[in-house]
Structure 1
Amino acid sequence: MDDNFSYLHSRKSFLVFSLLWLFLTLQISFGIWLLSGMGFHYSLLLVSVPMGIELFQLYSLKFVCKAYPLNSTSIQRLILVFFVSMFILQAIWNTSVQLWSRLLSYAMEEGIFTTVAYDYKTIFGGFGALYIFIAALFHYVVINMENVMDANRKIVQKNLELSRAELKTIRTTVHPHFLFNTLNVLSALIMKEPAVARELSMKLSNFLRYSLRYGQKDNVTLADEIKHIETYLEIEKVRFGARLNWEIDTEESLLSMTIPPLILLPVVENAVKHGIQQIIEGGTVDLKAFRDGDFIKIVVKNPFETPAAVTRGEGMGIRTLSELLKSVYGGDAAMEIFKKDNLFTVVIMLPIGNKTGI
């Protein structure tokens, strides 16, 4: 089926065309009845069959409009095509009226049908030409509207595909500094504390496995994301020791809710790198997730050292996350950042039950 003419194939559109045909048939019948003095039922009978043929002619104009689009056809060619089409369709219309009137006169032995058809052939021709013009205009308007809609759909689809590619790339990309630092710690522990090194390697393996496996999925449960965050913090704990602490408080009813994978890691990683790491005595990363109306509200807080450090408080990951939320949720999700009293706070609002489509 040609998408440009889908409006002609739906039942609703066909019903509209049929009702329009009925209205036009009654219109011409009423006019012929007033002008000729013949009975209205005779007038309706005379007009009904030719108007049925006319309806199919109006449909056929779609092929002409498709072959000669307005945006790529010269005015001269359009005028020529229009008049040729008008001539052919008018000839069919007028012939159908005359033949049908003769058939009625022969079948009903009433000469009035041929008399009226001949005497008012100009009226019939005028109505036919008017309907052809209106139908051509209708086809062109609808085709151009659907072309615009199709172009917009292609733009949206292209942007969506770019967003998907960007999102999947970021999901499967682990911060190189994190890997470099973790491998350095691991190499130092292998000889001194092999048991700790073995445990750290297991945690790193689980962390990378989650990033690669779940990073390709559309959604994961909040419980899986929290567990992934805990694995990350446990790995960093080996490097920072007592300087790094965390508190995670999640409303139990939300643990089975689904969210896009790996959207919490940039926030927590930002809290460690630009917050805890910059403070000599360290600090605590506080993560809370709870229901707020129809949203999952996630709040991540971390201390920062001095006002001068505020300019370094937002890493590339957290800045990119805001754009990714727009790509995934459109305008339904939100992220806000607050800096007050040496406390850096990120608030993420995710709609409950929203299908991301990514």
Structure 2
Amino acid sequence: MMKPMTSTMRKLMWYLMAWLLVGVVITALLVTTANTSWLAGLGFAIPVSLIYGFVAASAYYVCRSLPMAKRQFFLTLVIFGGASLISGLMWLALCYAWNYLAFALRQLIGFGPVAGSMTLPGNLIPVTPQMSVMLFAAGSCLYLLSIFAHDVVIAFENVRLADRRAAESRVQARDAELQVLRTQINPHFLFNSLNSISALTSLDPAAARNMTLELAQFFRQTLASSEKELISLNEEIRLCEHFLAIEKIRFGKKLQSDIQIADAAQMALLPPMLLQPCIENAIKHGIRDLTEGGVIVVRALIRGDWLHITIENPVDPVPGDTVGNGHGLKNSRLRLQSMYGDKARINWTRSNDTFLVEIAVPQAVN
């Protein structure tokens, strides 16, 4: 919500300082054109300027009542011109009132005319008809300047408000996109796990029970981290270890893992459920197709301002019919792009008998 220049103490102080400067300028003009002393001029111009500053603050509401997008020349001229003329009359009346009141106060406390001033009887400064015209014109111009200043302030506030709303919209869109990507990942893993449990129920009930317990533990930790935008690498590795425990029940000794995390990388932050799809991909499209199985190697370290993670697994040199469409890796890439833009990356390459996933995330320590 946009507010006038006097809405906060800081703004009010700057606003009053601006009108103090206006009072000094008017004093200089009085000293130059009306043979008024600096003391009398300041005593007249400073209070009048400060009081009129609050009258001129109404220009904010005049500007708000006529947004720039809806302004027409004639209507703008009538409203702004009329407001300026009325304010000029108010300024002139204020000048007359304060000029007489200040003189009366000086007489009351026993001060005579200020040295060097040529005043009319009953006045602090001389107010001739020509001076009245000048004061009226000055009041009208000051109000027009106030309208211009408030127009500029409102334009800047509109730009800032538009930028803030755009940023909020981007954040909401990113959060919605991330939520969609998460819903694509979690059910995918759940369905695969339930299929494995179903297959083991008749073959190895004990293994099926252990897999169910591991699955429950995995999703318990997943739910705990699902509301977080970032988790530590240490937490993510624990989730992956539960996933591997589930899959090792299914594949037995055919599936091995080697996880090497540098001490400096333990508390580095990354999006939750980022590594699990990569490991799942390594099993589904690598280990599962190999008769002798293989080892999934996960390494993580901090290099400069980046967290670097690699997931490497053996693959069949001759791809079979189970080559996937890479949804898990593509979702991981989309999540990183949504959160980091071009500041993070994930790439994957396949050689003759090895598949390698490389992830780089800007370093953040929990």
TM-score (norm 1): 0.85
Change (3 A) 1:261 1:176: closer
- Tell whether 2:13 aligns with 1:15: yes
Deviations along 1:328-357, one digit per CA (max 9) or x if unpaired, are: 3456x4113152634423222242137xxx
Give, in whole Å, the separation in 1 of the partners of 2:126 and 2:319. Answer: 98
Amino acid at match of 1:156: A
Q: Which amino acid aligns with 2:344?
A: A
Matched, 1:160 2:171: yes
Higher mean alpha-carbon deviation, 131-140 vs 274-283, is at 274-283
1:272-297 alpha-carbon deviations (Å, 9 max, x no partner) = 33443455554332211222234332
Q: CA deviation at 1:228?
A: 0.9
Structure of larger gyration radius: 2
Q: Which residue identity is paired with 1:348?
A: A
Letter in 2 for 1:166: E
Q: Give the stretch that moved more between structures: 218-227 or 321-330.
A: 321-330
Distance 2:359 2:142 in 1: 61
Shift of 1:179: 3.6
1:65-80 matches, cutoff 5 A: 65-80=63-78
Asked if the contact 1:290–1:297 (Cα under 8 Å) also holds between the matched residues in 2, the reply is yes
Q: 2:334 matched to 1:336?
A: no
Counterpart residue identity of residue 86, structure 2 = I
Query: Hey, what does 1:347 align to over in structure 2?
Result: 359
TM-superposed deviation, 1:25: 1.0
How many angstroms does 1:126 deviate by? 2.8
Match of 1:87 in 2: 85
Structure 2 Cα separation of the partners of residues 251 and 70 of structure 1: 59
1:40 to 31, 35, 38: 38
Q: Which runs of 5+ in 1 are unaligned?
A: none
Secondary structure of residue in 1 paired with 2:274: coil
Q: Is the 8 A contact 1:284 1:302 kept in 2?
A: yes
SS at match of 1:289: strand
Cα pair distance change 1:277/1:191, threshold 3 Å: closer
* Aligned match of 1:299: 310
CA distance 1:275–1:346, change in 2 (3 Å): farther
Shift of 1:139: 0.8
Identical counterparts, % of pairs? 27
Q: Is the 8 A contact 2:185 2:277 kept in 1?
A: no
Distance 1:6 1:243 in 2: 72
The residue that corresponds to 2:57 in the other structure is 59
Q: Could you tell me how far apart the structure 1 residues matched to 2:93 and 2:160 are?
A: 40
Contact 2:349 2:356 in 1 (8 A): yes
Take 1:247 and 1:221, find their aligned partners in 2: how far apart are those partners? 19
Q: Please tell me whether residue 151 in structure 1 is matched to residue 151 in structure 2.
A: no
Question: d(CA) in 2 for partners of 1:57 and 1:50?
Answer: 11
CA apart distance, 1:43: 1.5
CA–CA distance in structure 1, aligned partners of residues 70 and 193 of structure 2: 62
> Structure 1 residues 80, 281: closer, same or farther in 2, change over 3 A?
farther
| 3-state SS of paired residue (1:5) | coil
2:274 to 253, 256, 263: 263
TM-score norm. by structure 2 comes to 0.84
Local SS of the residue matching 1:245:
strand
Query: Does the Cα contact within 8 Å between 2:84 and 2:141 map onto a contact in 1?
Result: no
Partner of 2:116: none
**TM-fit CA distance, 1:144:** 1.9
- The total of aligned residue pairs comes to 349
Q: Distance in 2 between matches of 1:341 and 1:76?
A: 75
Which residue of structure 1 aligns with residue 110 of structure 2? none
Residue 263 (structure 2) pairs with residue 252 (structure 1): yes
2:97 to 93, 99, 114: 99
SS at match of 2:29: helix
Check 1:15–1:303 CA distance in 2 against 1; reply closer, same or farther (3 A cut): farther
Q: 1:322 to 1:195 in 2, by over 3 A?
A: same
One-letter amino acid of the structure 1 residue matched with residue 233 of structure 2: L
- Residue 25 of structure 1 is matched in structure 2 by 23
Question: Which residue type is aligned with residue 288 of structure 1?
Answer: R
CA distance in 1, matches of 2:280, 2:86: 74
Match of 1:193 in 2: 204
Structure 1 residue 176 displacement after superposition: 4.8
Do the aligned partners of residues 133 and 278 (structure 1) sit closer, same or farther apart at CA in structure 2, a change above 3 Å counting? farther
CA contact (8 A) 1:182 1:239 kept: no
CA contact (8 A) 2:60 2:150 kept: yes
2:102 counterpart SS class: helix
Unaligned runs of 5+ in 2: 108-112, 114-118
Higher helix share: 1
